[in-house]
C-alpha cells in the first residue's frame, strides 16, 4: 500500500510540474505554447528565429542535455542522405531497387519498385509500426500492392533503404554502414558528430526510428534544412533532389520524400497522428515536418525563418494518463499559438 501511495504521489508531482522557460519567458506566445505542450507530456521546446533562440523551455524529463528518442522523426534523415548519395553519384531516386538487390529481380512487383517508392512509403510493403526488422528480413518481406499505387506506413521500406545504401557503399569501396555515411556527409559538417543512433540486434542502423537527440541537436538539422541543404553557402546535397524531398508524392499528397507536408492526407490515413491540415490557409505553404511517435516534432518554415522542435516523454503510463485527461496533441494549435501570439510570427 505504501509503495502504491508513493507511486501515486510521484505521478501527481510529475503531472503538475511547471516548465522552466530558459528563453522567452516574457513572450506571451512562448508561454502559451509551453502551457499547451507541458500537460501533453511536453519535455523540450526550442524555437529558432533566423537561427537565434527566441523560446526555449524544459519540463518533466526534459533538459538542455537530455537526449530523447525521435522515433519516426528519424525518417527525414534518410531523405537528406538520399540527396547526398545522388550528389555523390551513388544512385538516382528513380532507379529500380532491383539494380542493387538482385533478390528483387525475379519478383513481378519488386522488379518494378524504385528507390523513390521506398522513401515515399509507396513501395507496397506492409510492416508493423515500431518493430523495425533487420536489413535482411526487410529485403525478404513481400510486396502486397503495386509499387507507387498506395501509401503504406511502416518501418520495412526504410530498412530496405538501409540495405540498398549498405550495398551501394560496399560497391563504392566505402564502409557498408548507412549511418557512418550520414555521419560523414551530413551530421559531422553540421555539428552533430556525437549524437546517439540505435541499431537492430543484428547491428543494422535503424533508418526509420534510430535517432536520439536533444532539442538543440535536432534544431541544427532543422537549420540545415532551412538553409536549403547548405553549410556556409555550400550545398552538401544535390540541390534538385533536395527540392524534391518537399514535393507531394502521388500516393499521399501529405507526404513527400521522408517529410510530412501541410496537404490533405491520402484516403488511407496512417502514420503520426497530426492535424496540420486543420490549419487550412493559415499553414505556411513551405512548412515541412518531421514527426515521430509520442508527438515528437521538427517544424521548418523557411519563409518565416523558423525552426521549431518539440520533444515529449513517451511511455505507456504517460500515454494512458493523457488519454484519460482528454489532452490530445494538436500540431495546428501549437503552430497557431507560435505564429500568431509570439515573436516567431513577426
Percent residues over pLDDT 70 in the chain: 91
CA dihedral 101, 102, 103, 108 (to 10 degrees): 100
pLDDT at 215 over 70: yes
Percent residues over pLDDT 90 in the chain: 83
Lowest mean pLDDT among 83-97, 174-188, 262-276: 262-276
Helix (H) or strand (E) holding 66: none
pLDDT at 267 over 80: no
Give the pLDDT band (50/70/90) at residue 4: very low
Which cell is 224 given?
A: 540545415
pLDDT in tens, 292-342: 999 999 999 999 999 999 999 987 676 667 667 778 999 999 999 999 999
pLDDT at 64 over 70: yes
- pTM attached to this predicted model: 0.92
CB 314 within 8 A of CB 292: no
pLDDT in tens, 74-122: 999 999 999 999 999 999 999 999 999 999 999 999 999 999 999 999 9
**How high is the pLDDT of residue 316?**
63
For 330, residues 6+ apart whose C-beta sits below 8 A from its C-beta are 275, 278
Let me know how long the chain is: 346
CA distances from 113 to 87, 99, 143 (A): 22, 10, 9
**CB crowding 315-334: b at 16 or more within 10 Å, else e:** eeebbebbeeeeeebbbbbb
**CB crowding 110-131: b at 16 or more within 10 Å, else e:** bebbbbbbbbbbbbbbebebee
CB 268 within 8 A of CB 295: no
**CB crowding 77-87: b at 16 or more within 10 Å, else e:** bbbbbbbbbbb
Domain 68-211+228-271 class in CATH: alpha beta
Amino acid at each position: 500500500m505504501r509503495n502504491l501511495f508513493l507511486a501515486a504521489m510521484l505521478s501527481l508531482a510529475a503531472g503538475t510540474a511547471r516548465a522552466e522557460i530558459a528563453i522567452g519567458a516574457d513572450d506571451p506566445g512562448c508561454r502559451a505554447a509551453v502551457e499547451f505542450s507541458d500537460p501533453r507530456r511536453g519535455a523540450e521546446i526550442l524555437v529558432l528565429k533566423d537561427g537565434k533562440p527566441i523560446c526555449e523551455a524544459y519540463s518533466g524529463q526534459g533538459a538542455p542535455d537530455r537526449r530523447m528518442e525521435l522515433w519516426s522523426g528519424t525518417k527525414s534523415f534518410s531523405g537528406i542522405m538520399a540527396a547526398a548519395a545522388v550528389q555523390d553519384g551513388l544512385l538516382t531516386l528513380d532507379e529500380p531497387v532491383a539494380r542493387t538487390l538482385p533478390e528483387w529481380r525475379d519478383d513481378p512487383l519488386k522488379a518494378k519498385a524504385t528507390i523513390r517508392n521506398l522513401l515515399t512509403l509507396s513501395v507496397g510493403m506492409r510492416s508493423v509500426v515500431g518493430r523495425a526488422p533487420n536489413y535482411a528480413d526487410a529485403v525478404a518481406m513481400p510486396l502486397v500492392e503495386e509499387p507507387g499505387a498506395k501509401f503504406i506506413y511502416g518501418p520495412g521500406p526504410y530498412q530496405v533503404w538501409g540495405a540498398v545504401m549498405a550495398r551501394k557503399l560496399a560497391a563504392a569501396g566505402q564502409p557498408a554502414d548507412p549511418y557512418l555515411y550520414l555521419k560523414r556527409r551530413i551530421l559531422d559538417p553540421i555539428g552533430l558528430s556525437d549524437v546517439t543512433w540505435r541499431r537492430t540486434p543484428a547491428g543494422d542502423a535503424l533508418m526509420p526510428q534510430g535517432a536520439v537527440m536533444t532539442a538543440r541537436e535536432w534544431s541544427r538539422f532543422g537549420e540545415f534544412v532551412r538553409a536549403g541543404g547548405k553549410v556556409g553557402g555550400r550545398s552538401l546535397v544535390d540541390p534538385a533532389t533536395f527540392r524534391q524531398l518537399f514535393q507531394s508524392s502521388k500516393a499521399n499528397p501529405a507526404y513527400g520524400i521522408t517529410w510530412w507536408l501541410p496537404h490533405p492526407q491520402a484516403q488511407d490515413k496512417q502514420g503520426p497522428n497530426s492535424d496540420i491540415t486543420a490549419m487550412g490557409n493559415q499553414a505556411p505553404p513551405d512548412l515541412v515536418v518531421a514527426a515521430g511517435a509520442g508527438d515528437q516534432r521538427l517544424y521548418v518554415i523557411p519563409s518565416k525563418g523558423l525552426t521549431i522542435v518539440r520533444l515529449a516523454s513517451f511511455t505507456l503510463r504517460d500515454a494512458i494518463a493523457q488519454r484519460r485527461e482528454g489532452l490530445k496533441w494538436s500540431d495546428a494549435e501549437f503552430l497557431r499559438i507560435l505564429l500568431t501570439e509570439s515573436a516567431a510570427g513577426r
